[in-house]
Amino acid sequence: MGQTIIEKILASHSKYDQVKPGQIIEITIDTRVARDFGGPNVVKHIEDNGLPIDDTKKTFFTFDTNPTGSDPKYATNQQICRKFARSHGIKVYDINNGIGTHTLIEMGLIWPGATGVSTDSHANILGAVAAFGQGMGDKDIAAIWAYGKTWFKVPETVKIILKGRRPEGITAKDIVLNLLNRFGANTLLGKAIEIYGEEVDKFTLDERITIASMATEMGAIILLFEPTEEIYNHFEMRLGRKVDKIFADPDASYSHVYEMDFSKFKQMVSLPGKPHATVNILDVKRKKIDSAFIGSCTNGRIEDMRAVAQVLKGRKVAPGVVLKIVPSTDRVWQQALDEGLIKIFKQAGALVSNPGCAGCAAGQVGMNGPGEVTISTGNRNFPGKQGKGDVYLASPAVVAASAVAGYITTVDDIPEEPALPTAEDEENKKQRILEHQKRNEKIEQNEPTEIEGRIWLILRDNIDTDMIYHNRYLPITDVNEMGQYIFDNLQGYEDFAKKVQKNDIVITGKNFGSGSSRQHAVDGFLALGVGAILAQSFGAIYERNAINSALPILTYEPKVLEELDLQDGDRIRLNFITGDIVNLRNGKQSKVNPFSQIQLEIYKNGGLF
């Protein structure tokens, strides 16, 4: 039986010749990265546990979430990492360098068929060059730094085939928003994706990076492309050696094959709050905006900068609109400078900032305020992710055109005169601010295999890590301080931390913990003494973080809720080993999926360490 791309990569880094979906294997990691976000906790785990560094030549820090070092806590954390790096001979790609995952590709620190991990939840962007990339929590990364390997469950692979010609004006961002429109946030949950098609073979590296970067928003483990000769040449030049070709076998087995008519793809926009809530841009055309953002690991490449410059050349940003542009890396920044693009941006009235993650990180360029409407090229617009206003997601060209127009529009429909702010706009903004204000009015290590607790029925799908633990609290490194912020960005549960009791059990819907790799979204529950979390499915990185931290998480089928006749506040008894669950109010019983063997072993050990 042949193997898919991900199966070949994982097998080649394990002791097996072949692997199959669902198999839990140990794999070696070629490239091991911690960022300024997560990095200090990696250092802490290594120092507290007396761990070694397996191979400093494969180990790196990348500072990209706060490239200005302007936040005192981030500056402190960065310096902790720098001092640790100096004492261990570890390379630091510092605040002047840009987004870490992009750096790995640019510098040849990753290559087709390689494996890489980072504290960045978008490390699966490495699938753009057919490398295994995975965002992991700081415990995982610390263990990998120490031992050079980790456990991983082989995912199922799905194949997506784009048939037909690529429509004119359809950018890489439009392509991935069309995919999100088709598959949503959890249809492909936990899957590896391979994309094929005659037009796909023509995608540039920058386009592949854009599409691969939003695999996380689709709930997928990774999205992979077969590399082109140009991509192989890039890495062979960087590495000074031949790179083995990586491709799926003709008889590889896929859990599902989807065919899509590429010729019917439209220019799309994600509505505020949900990256997967995508609509035809015509549905939101002429929606007034206050600001625009171009950048992020999804759209900060040189091709994106060129597309923006083409729109802005000879034009001005509309009065009352702020346009912020952040290239992804220093190399892109320098290239944009050499090509005269920076001059075009500045003449148009845009703010151009240091390369880095920007709007996805709290306190950085790209944030907005209450009532503000932003159109952004970012990959996430979860509530509160890019500030306190509304965020629409679109392609760089559309964002630039909208910044000039003063409202959401397409490149071929930029008005001669921009829309100006009106009194009605200001009144609407005040109303949005009021609505926002109304919406926002030490760990004990226990290892029982059966618990009793009160339940919180929060039956919502796609509760992401910003709703669980907002990014404005990320500089906090003391676990005991994290609990107070759990769910304070989840509408209706802002007071969860004040009301939760020890051993309470949270029961939620699909894809719980989607989004960021932040460990805080797990550790905060531990700090509060939460007994377990039950969900129909979990975000892949969140699942690893929870298991490695000995936070009991279990999955269940929808019928369980009916069989137990649950009401919010009921007390239940839950057995982690057997999956038996009993509603103590009415005696009704059912079963959830029990711990796997490796989860049980880590849990009994009190965590990965």
Within a domain: 442: no
Q: Are residues 568 and 550 both part of a single domain?
A: yes
Residues 42 and 111 in one domain: yes
The answer to which of 23-32, 117-126, 352-361, 451-460 has the lowest mean pLDDT is: 352-361
Q: Which helix (H) or strand (E) holds 554?
A: strand 553-555
If asked whether residues 430 and 367 sit together in one domain, one would say: yes
Last residue of a domain, one of 247, 264, 281: 264
pLDDT at 385: 78
CA–centroid distance for 468 within its chain: 14
User: Does the pLDDT of residue 373 top 50, yes or no?
Assistant: yes
Helix (H) or strand (E) holding 48: helix 39-48
Q: Residue 29 and residue 13: Cα distance in Å, rounded?
A: 8
What letter represents residue 308's amino acid?
V
Q: Are strands 132-135 and 268-270 parallel, antiparallel or unpaired?
A: unpaired
Residue 196, Cβ density class (10 Å: 0-12 exposed, 13-18 middle, ≥19 buried): middle
Q: Is the pLDDT of residue 265 over 90?
A: yes
Angle at which helix 302-312 crosses helix 341-348, to 10 degrees, equals: 50
Last-in-domain residue among 437, 460, 492: 437
CA distance 64 to 100: 6
**Residue 446 confidence class, pLDDT cut points 50, 70, 90:** very low
Buried b / exposed e along 237-260 (16+ C-beta atoms within 10 A):
ebeeeebeebebeeebebeeebeb
Q: What span, in angstroms and rounded, lies between the C-alpha atoms of 486 and 470?
A: 8
Looking at the predicted structure, is the pLDDT value of residue 440 above 70? no
Identify whether residues 362 and 254 lie together within a single domain: no
User: pLDDT at residue 344 above 90?
Assistant: yes
What SS3 state is found at 73?
helix
CA 215, CA 208: separation in Å to the nearest integer? 11
Mean pLDDT for all residues in the chain: 92
DSSP SS3 for 32:
strand
Instruction: Read off φ and ψ for residue 554, nearest 5 degrees.
Output: -140, 150
Q: Which residues contact 389 (CB under 8 A, 6 or more apart)?
A: 290, 368, 369, 370, 371, 372, 373, 374, 432
Structure tokens at 8: 């070949």
Q: Do 237 and 294 belong to one domain?
A: no
Report the share of the chain in percent with pLDDT over 90.
81
| Phi, psi angles (nearest 5°) of residue 498 | -80, -25
* Stretch 316-330: mean pLDDT: 96
Same domain? 222 vs 275: no
Cβ-in-10-Å burial (0-12, 13-18, 19+) of 56 comes to: middle
Mean per-residue pLDDT, 408-428: 83
pLDDT range class, residue 433, cuts 50, 70, 90: low
Q: Which phi and psi (to 5°) does residue 92 adopt?
A: -110, 125
- 226 lies in the same domain as 308: no
**Residue 443 within a domain:** no
Query: Which of these, 180, 221, 139, 281, lies nearest to 606 by C-alpha position?
Result: 139
Residue 442 is predicted with a pLDDT of 34
Residue 17 lies in a domain: yes
Q: 419: phi > 0 → left, psi -120 to 50 → alpha, else beta; which?
A: beta
- Residues whose CB falls within 8 Å of the CB of residue 126, separated by 6 or more in sequence, listed in order: 101, 104, 105, 110, 114, 116, 132, 133, 212, 222
pLDDT computed for residue 337 by the predictor: 98
Tally the domains of the chain: 3
Sheet of 351-352: strand order equals 278-280, 268-270, 390-393, 373-376, 291-294, 322-325, 351-352
298-323 mean pLDDT: 97
**The pLDDT value given to residue 609:** 77
Alpha carbon distance 414, 493 (integer Å): 42
In a domain, 117, yes or no: yes
Mean pLDDT (whole number) for 129-142: 95
pLDDT at residue number 295: 94
Decide if 572 is inside a domain. Answer: yes
DSSP per-residue letters across 505-540: EEEE-SSBTBS---THHHHHHHHHT--EEEES-B-H
Shared domain for 429 and 456, answered yes or no, is no
Is 463 in the same domain as 597?
A: yes
User: What does the DSSP 8-state code read for residue 2?
Assistant: B
Range of the domain at 351: 269-437
Helix (H, G, I), strand (E, B) or coil at 56: helix
Average pLDDT of span 197-204: 97
- 552 inside domain: yes
Band (pLDDT 50/70/90 cuts) for residue 426 is: low
In terms of Cβ atoms closer than 10 Å to its own Cβ (0-12, 13-18, 19+), residue 287 is: middle
Report the CATH number at residue 370.
3.30.499.10
Residues 6+ apart with CB under 8 A from 372: 290, 291, 387, 388, 389, 390, 429
Q: What gap in Å lies between CA 126 and CA 223, rounded to an integer?
A: 9
- Residue finishing a domain among 406, 437, 468: 437
Residue 158 lies in a domain: yes
3-state secondary structure of 256: strand
The predicted-structure confidence for 374-392, as pLDDT tens digits, reads as follows 999 999 888 777 788 999 9
90/188 same-domain check: yes
pLDDT tens by residue, 534-552: 999 999 899 999 999 999 9
Side chain identity, residue 336: A
Is there a domain that residue 445 lies in? no
Categorize the per-residue pLDDT at 516 as very low, low, confident or very high, splitting at 50, 70 and 90. Answer: confident
Separation of alpha carbons 357 and 488, rounded Å? 24
DSSP per-residue letters across 323-339: EEE--SBHHHHHHHHHT
pLDDT of residue 354: 92
499 in the same domain as 528: yes
* Reported confidence tier of residue 441, pLDDT bands at 50, 70, 90: very low
In this prediction, residue 533 has a pLDDT band, given cuts at 50, 70 and 90, of very high
pLDDT for 445 equals 42
DSSP percent split of the chain into helix, strand, coil, nearest 5 = 35, 20, 45
- The pLDDT tens digits for 551-598 are 999 999 999 999 999 999 999 999 999 999 999 999 999 999 999 888
Q: Let me know whether 281 and 407 are in one domain.
A: yes
